[in-house]
Amino acid sequence: MASGHSLKQHSVTQPSVTQRLDAHPHLASLGLGLLSATGFQPLGLWPVALLAVGLFALIAANTASWLRAFRLGWLFGVAHFTLGNNWIATAFTFQSEMPAMLGWAAVPLLALYLAVYPALAAIIARLVVRNRAGLAFALTFAGAWIFTEWLRSWVFSGYVWNPLGMVLLGPMDRPGLAAITPIMGTYALSGLAVLLGCALVLMLKERNWLAAGATALLLVAGMFWPAGEAQQGDLLVTIVQPDIRQERISDPRFFEANYNRLAQLSRREESGAGTNTDAEPRIVLWPESGMADYLREGYPQRYYDRTTALGSPLYARRRLATAVGDDSVLLTGAVDLEIGADETGFVRALGARNAVTAIGSDGELLGGYAKAHLVPYGEYLPMREWLEPLGLTRLVAGSIDFWPGPGPRTLDLGEYGKVSPQVCYEIIFSGQVTDRSNRADYIFNPSNEAWFGGNAQPQFLAQSRMRAIEEGLPVLRATTTGISAVIDARGVVRQHLAQHVQGRIDARVPPATAPTLFARFGNMLGLAWSIVLMLAGFVAMRRQPV
């Protein structure tokens, strides 16, 4: 009897989950931040991520003050962004003038700033809901998270890598719960992820096993719901992945070998996926950093003499046209220069553009696009006049900075379709990848991811898929080392080449859908969802006893 009484007494005094979290809130916030980042690719542990966010919301809801909520939210964010952005550290190994170990410092230093955004979401929820937890806090926190992610997309030029909604994207052959993104946008999907995580934790906390189990089953069903049959388009496409490693891309000794590899992979084939006759129009897609030659006229001759094109941009373009053959248009990553006189009057390159250039079958220029969202410290050096004297330089080769382009543009290539180019990193910016006044038929995302760590490539692919779903447009990715892919307008990867594989994809460009709600309204749609959730939280708070 005494033993039984002792066991009963012991079970009664077991601390609850909330009490255990509240006992060590700082360590718990750090640990939950790490777990929440495991929902991103390549791990894809989305149930863990949802529960981690929900458990953090429990901690934030029980804080004694808004300042404490900010501090815990910031700790959560530091761990979350440190793990999610660990691939950045590898970039420093390709810059001989900067120590590689600086990369491992850069990742947490960036996280110290990015962590401000989940901390702001926690503050907003704590100030609005005050001492009420439960549904009111969950709704308000979800709405605030949408707003702060939107802020993260543009403050200080924006860095919105891995919005939380990415954890709701399904495997490559199905969109998962991200299928609803056309009516929400990615940032609102992040709010939904927060709300789902909070709801699951609240059900488990209240031991509502039936509701928790039903919700979990619905989530699993939504994540793995079949995508359906692929829809076939008309336009032929060849996507080339040369598997050129970063150390060879900017080395002049390899320029000609790099070109030959791209050219050999671009020849028209008599048979293959989607091909038929030589007369059928075809687009050929080369990656960012695909072309070392300067393709435009108007530069001092010394710049052309440094390339392999015998000192002539016209020869370089005609050589490209010959490589891809008749009835083909090439879209390739290239560098354009901005020429002018410096302070001494010497005419030289003052800046560069990370560009996409369209070349016709006789070598004519059909149009181009300059990357608008540049990578800080990669493509330009902020505060150059202060940092350069300290020995800090850009992470990619070159002594001049890239200049930003004007933003999304649609290139009308006639029978080859209307294309919206988005170079590399630009594809992560929700609502900023197309010209809404001139809708494209497809998005072209040339990329060079060879200088990032291994987690970057699957995360790039995932974010490209999200842009396809949002806009209702197929996305065609051509990368130097992978992952190149054909993504349809539902975010399904129809064909792809894995990392570090040399090869090509022959396919037909999937058709676009009708313009989605998000394609019409952009991120204003996500902000509207933020307001709706916060208003719902306010109503729930008014009905909830103190």
Please answer whether residues 318 and 295 qualify as being in contact, where contact means their C-beta atoms are separated by less than 8 angstroms. no
Burial of 66 (0-12, 13-18, 19+ CB in 10 A): middle
pLDDT at 390: 52
Please answer whether residues 165 and 195 qualify as being in contact, where contact means their C-beta atoms are separated by less than 8 angstroms. no
- The DSSP code sequence of 475-531 is EEEEESSS-EEEE-TTS-EEEEE-TT--EEEEEEPPPP-SPPHHHHHTHHHHHHHHH
Cis-peptide, bond into residue 313, ω within 30° of zero: no
Q: What does DSSP say about strands 493-497 and 418-421: parallel, antiparallel, or unpaired?
A: unpaired
Cis-peptide, bond into residue 249, ω within 30° of zero: no
pLDDT at 2: 47
pLDDT at 189: 98
pLDDT at 525: 96
Mean pLDDT, 10 residues at a time, over the chain (546 residues)? 44 62 86 97 97 96 89 97 91 67 83 96 91 86 98 92 97 96 97 97 93 95 90 93 88 89 88 57 94 91 80 92 94 94 90 94 94 81 57 61 92 96 95 95 94 89 98 97 96 96 96 97 96 93 70
Instruction: Pick left, alpha or beta for residue 60 (phi over 0 → left; psi -120 to 50 → alpha; otherwise beta).
Output: alpha
Q: What are phi and psi of 321, to 5 degrees?
A: -60, -40
- The DSSP code sequence of 419-486 is EEE--GGGGGSTT-SS-TTS--SEEEEEE--TTS-TTHHHHHHHHHHHHHHHHT--EEEEESSS-EEE
Report the C-alpha gap between 259 and 237 in whole angstroms: 19
Q: What does the block give as tokens for 40?
A: 């991103």
End-to-end Cα distance, the chain = 41
Residue type, 411: L
pLDDT at 392: 57
Domain boundaries, the chain: 15-227+524-543, 236-510
Reported as half-sphere exposure (CB side, CA atoms, 13 A), residue 452 has a value of 26
Number of Cβ within 10 Å of residue 546's Cβ equals 6
- The DSSP code sequence of 275-294 is ---TTS-EEEE--TT---S-
Please answer whether residues 427 and 460 qualify as being in contact, where contact means their C-beta atoms are separated by less than 8 angstroms. yes
pLDDT at 397: 58
**Topology of domain 236-510, CATH:** Nitrilase/N-carbamoyl-D-aminoacid amidohydrolase (3.60.110)
Residue type, 124: I
The residue with tokens 């980042």 is 37
Q: In what order do the strands lie in the sheet with 493-497?
A: 411-412, 418-421, 442-447, 475-479, 484-487, 493-497
Q: How far is CA 517 from the centre of its chain?
A: 21
Please answer whether residues 486 and 274 qualify as being in contact, where contact means their C-beta atoms are separated by less than 8 angstroms. no
Q: How far is CA 67 from the centre of its chain?
A: 31
Report field, pTM of the whole predicted structure over 0.85: yes
Reported as half-sphere exposure (CB side, CA atoms, 13 A), residue 272 has a value of 16
pLDDT at 9: 44
